[in-house]
């Protein structure tokens, strides 16, 4: 930050944390558990994907990164889904506090919230894993506008015909007795070639 090194770790995890408007204590707790228990390290015999950062007594470096909440509008990034700075800073500090309570506080490091930082990562493997809270635990009250709109669209696609469309079909059938509503089945497939 500003040309000065403020934090560093040896072996461990670099966590880039994007905090969303919808994030709650539930998501925070889920992320803390996942980060500390994610099995991405090898065991003593060299078997991959066997040990967590806690199993290996490795360090964790956390960097708050609102740009992970980016939604592209054409080629322009839009960050309206990121939690506002004042709330996000409190959320981020709570996240760090929970990590330190669940693990060894001296092994949890962080950057400087809201600062322009140069982050140097030696990505071993390279292995990068995106973690998100499970969709099944989302409170319907916390859905974004886009998710609510998508759900409405899906419901609309699966709806039965409205009363007005039924009435239109019925009036067409009255005008043309040979017209089929489709309820009796389509006999065109039964014709011989």
In a domain, 163, yes or no: no
In a domain, 111, yes or no: yes
- Going by their DSSP bridges, the two strands 12-17 and 59-64 should be labelled as parallel
**Residue 25 pLDDT:** 94
Question: What is the extent of the structural domain holding 133?
Answer: 12-142
Q: Does the pLDDT of residue 160 top 60, yes or no?
A: no
Tell me if residue 187 falls in helix, strand or coil: coil
In a domain, 52, yes or no: yes
In a domain, 2, yes or no: no
For residues 163-179, average pLDDT: 46
User: Catalytic positions, please?
Assistant: 67
In a domain, 5, yes or no: no
**Residue 154 pLDDT:** 53
Q: What is the pTM of this model?
A: 0.69
**Residue 117 pLDDT:** 95
Question: In the structure encoding, which two tokens stand for residue 98, read together?
Answer: 């929970």
19 by Cβ neighbours in 10 Å (0-12 / 13-18 / 19+) ranks as buried
CA dist 172 → 29, 31, 77, 113, 167 (Å): 59, 58, 51, 67, 9
**Residue 167 pLDDT:** 46
For residues 99-111, average pLDDT: 98
In a domain, 70, yes or no: yes
For residues 155-181, average pLDDT: 46
Domain count, the chain: 1
**Residue 159 pLDDT:** 46
Which CATH number is 29's domain given? Answer: 3.50.80.10
In a domain, 97, yes or no: yes
In a domain, 160, yes or no: no
**Residue 36 pLDDT:** 98
Partner residues linked to 13 by β-bridges:
60
pLDDT digits (tens, 9 = 90+) for 20-63: 999 999 999 999 999 999 999 999 999 999 999 999 999 999 99
């Amino acid at each position: 930050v500003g040309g000065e090194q403020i934090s560093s770790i040896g072996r461990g995890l670099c966590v880039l944390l994007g905090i969303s408007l919808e994030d709650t204590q539930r998501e925070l707790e889920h992320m803390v558990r996942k980060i500390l228990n994610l099995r991405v390290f090898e065991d003593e015999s060299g078997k991959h994907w066997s040990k967590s950062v806690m199993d290996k007594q490795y360090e964790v470096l956390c960097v708050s990164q609102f740009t992970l909440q980016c939604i592209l509008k054409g080629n322009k990034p839009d960050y309206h889904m990121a939690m506002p700075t004042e709330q996000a800073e409190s959320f981020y500090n709570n996240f760090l506090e929970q990590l330190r309570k669940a693990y060894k506080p001296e092994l949890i490091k962080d950057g400087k919230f809201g600062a322009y930082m140069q982050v140097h990562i030696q990505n071993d493997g390279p292995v990068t894993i995106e973690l998100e809270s499970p969709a099944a635990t989302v409170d319907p009250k916390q859905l974004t506008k886009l998710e609510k709109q998508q759900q409405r669209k899906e419901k609309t696609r699966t709806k039965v015909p409205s009363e007005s469309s039924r009435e239109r079909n019925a009036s067409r059938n009255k005008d043309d007795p040979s017209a089929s509503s489709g309820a009796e089945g389509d006999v065109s497939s039964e014709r011989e070639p």
